[in-house]
Chain A
């Protein structure tokens, strides 16, 4: 299902961090505008420190925006400003509609990999066996050796962890998928698998906003490009701003 109206409209998003201990205000993202569409991928580019991760985390509400609107259209067609939506509403959206895959895997120390991956489906009320089947299917697609499925990913290599992380992020097929360098430590063959998977998901209607390290990923996957300007590095003391 492809449609032309965006599922996410970011308007004039600005984020500064106020660090009281250091008496500093750190500008991080300045007046960002972007759209994400059903079944398409918007790539966010820009120099290191330009604020790419800050935009993604703002949409996920890990960061509280300083200004701007983050307008998400949910599956019922209602528009929600993620900048100020109720916390329980945001939690519900994270469970059902908005996924985030970063470079880092966070999980419980003793959980088996296949359970870590199945988690988002179980959270949504999918039957445990079906969720595990789906998890194994994805782990196979990611080329993760079967002998690793039953143990915790805590001791996995960077690339292995990242595959687990991706499998978990993709399993529940969110409507909006945020990706922050999800392929940073993958070998070319595995990266190719990931590209295939993301392409399939796009075809199924998932809208994506992604930060990719390698330009060829942007070329192959993105329909839209948004470049953030280089950071200004003008940290100023808090007092000067007040």
Chain B
């Protein structure tokens, strides 16, 4: 199996920082805020691999750094340290060494992102179909009929009624917005999908539909995915392997069933026990 992504020692600090930030934060100190300078160590020394067609779960309580990790990979945040190498069709990209234009090009060609907050993922001032069209245009699909056809089929696939394609997403329910985001993320059939709490806050039947869709995509297109969630049920259904974060650090990684049934770390044990 091919390695699609390899992340080494990714760190992200918010704030001016000092020399003690990393030494005085983390699970052992039960905080991600540096007591010396008040900076937030949102992620520190996060490392993992992702193979082709694999779904990696990232779980952990609120504020543990899950979104920060995927935002760094999607170039929404500039990491404080670390390396990430993305491989696609024989080409290799050292993500954080690319310049902004190269990053934008790579993301629009190879990455799909579904944000926790639909406001970040969708332009609320243009129609649902327009959001998808915008994504396709960035990836240089520019024939109007093609775009229209593709947008319709994507929205059908995510079970957004295509007759609502010309409406503004601001008028949609949360579940609908999330599905438009997914349709948009899938528009270019990206080899890497980043999904941040895709099912959180949605009612159960919509959740089920989205989970089905995600697995279908993974099976049909061998898309590699990172699924961020604090829902252990979602992790169990989707992820092959799982990474557990706390206060910006990875406390444990393993096969998902092992993490859930035989957690090695006290924190993971508590997390799993409280979800039962």
Q: Which residues of A contact B (CB under 8 A)?
A: 17, 19-21, 57, 60-64, 87-88, 90-92, 106, 108-111, 122-123
Q: Cα distance A175–B49 when bound, in Å?
A: 28
Which one of B54, B236, B269 lies within 8 Å of A20 (CB-CB)?
A: B269
Q: Does B257 lie at the interface of the complex (its beta carbon under 8 Å from any beta carbon of A)?
A: yes
| Apart from A17-B262, A88-B54, 8 more pairs, CB < 8 Å | A57-B261, A63-B262, A64-B262, A87-B255, A108-B215, A108-B237, A109-B211, A110-B208
* Given known A-B contacts A87-B241, A108-B215, A21 and B1 have beta carbons under 8 A apart: no
Bitwise, B238-259 to A at CB < 8 A (1) or not (0) is 0011000000000000110110
A-B contact pairs, 6 of them (CB 8 A): A21-B269, A61-B255, A64-B254, A88-B49, A92-B1, A123-B219
Chain B residue numbers with a CB within 8 Å of A108 are 208, 211-212, 215, 237
Question: Do B269 and A19 touch across chains, with their CB atoms under 8 A apart?
Answer: yes
Interface of B is mostly: helix
Closest approach, in angstroms, between the C-beta of A35 and any C-beta of chain B? 24
Chain B residue numbers with a CB within 8 Å of A110 are 208-209, 212
Report the tally of A-B residue pairs with Cβ distances under 8 A: 54
Q: Cα distance A63–B262 when bound, in Å?
A: 6
Q: Cα distance A88–B273 when bound, in Å?
A: 27
Closest approach, in angstroms, between the C-beta of A147 and any C-beta of chain B? 22
Q: Cα distance A91–B55 when bound, in Å?
A: 12
Question: Do A88 and B1 touch across chains, with their CB atoms under 8 A apart?
Answer: yes
Q: Nearest residue in A to B219 (C-beta to C-beta)?
A: A122
Chain B residue numbers with a CB within 8 Å of A20 are 266, 269
Closest approach, in angstroms, between the C-beta of A66 and any C-beta of chain B? 10
Q: Tell me which residues from 191 to 236 in chain B have a Cβ below 8 Å from any Cβ of chain A.
A: 208-209, 211-212, 215, 219, 236
Chain A residue numbers with a CB within 8 Å of B241 are 87, 91
Question: Do A109 and B208 touch across chains, with their CB atoms under 8 A apart?
Answer: yes
Q: Does B109 lie at the interface of the complex (its beta carbon under 8 Å from any beta carbon of A)?
A: no
Q: Cα distance A90–B257 when bound, in Å?
A: 12
Which one of B212, B219, B258 lies within 8 Å of A62 (CB-CB)?
A: B258
Q: Does B51 lie at the interface of the complex (its beta carbon under 8 Å from any beta carbon of A)?
A: yes
Q: Identify the 9 closest CB pairs spanning chains A and B, nearest first.
A: A20-B266, A109-B208, A63-B262, A62-B257, A110-B212, A110-B208, A62-B261, A91-B240, A62-B258
Q: Does B264 lie at the interface of the complex (its beta carbon under 8 Å from any beta carbon of A)?
A: yes
Q: Nearest residue in B to A90 (C-beta to C-beta)?
A: B255
Q: Nearest residue in B to A15 (C-beta to C-beta)?
A: B262
Chain B residue numbers with a CB within 8 Å of A91 are 54, 240-241, 255
Closest approach, in angstroms, between the C-beta of B229 and any C-beta of chain A? 16
Chain B residue numbers with a CB within 8 Å of A57 are 261-262
Q: Does B149 lie at the interface of the complex (its beta carbon under 8 Å from any beta carbon of A)?
A: no
Q: Cα distance A88–B224 when bound, in Å?
A: 14
Q: Does B270 lie at the interface of the complex (its beta carbon under 8 Å from any beta carbon of A)?
A: yes
Bitwise, B91-124 to A at CB < 8 A (1) or not (0) is 0000000000000000000000000000000000
Chain A residue numbers with a CB within 8 Å of B255 are 61-62, 87, 90-91
Question: Do B269 and A61 touch across chains, with their CB atoms under 8 A apart?
Answer: no
Q: Nearest residue in B to A89 (C-beta to C-beta)?
A: B1
Chain B residue numbers with a CB within 8 Å of A92 are 1
Chain A residue numbers with a CB within 8 Å of B270 are 21
Q: Cα distance A42–B261 when bound, in Å?
A: 25
Question: Do A62 and B262 touch across chains, with their CB atoms under 8 A apart?
Answer: yes
Q: Cα distance A91–B236 when bound, in Å?
A: 15
Chain A residue numbers with a CB within 8 Å of B273 are 21
Question: Do B212 and A63 touch across chains, with their CB atoms under 8 A apart?
Answer: no
Q: Nearest residue in A to B53 (C-beta to C-beta)?
A: A123
Chain A residue numbers with a CB within 8 Å of B264 are 64
Q: Cα distance A50–B49 when bound, in Å?
A: 37
Chain A residue numbers with a CB within 8 Å of B236 are 106
Closest approach, in angstroms, between the C-beta of B12 and any C-beta of chain A? 25
Q: Cα distance A63–B209 when bound, in Å?
A: 31
Q: Cα distance A91–B50 when bound, in Å?
A: 13
Closest approach, in angstroms, between the C-beta of B101 and any C-beta of chain A? 34
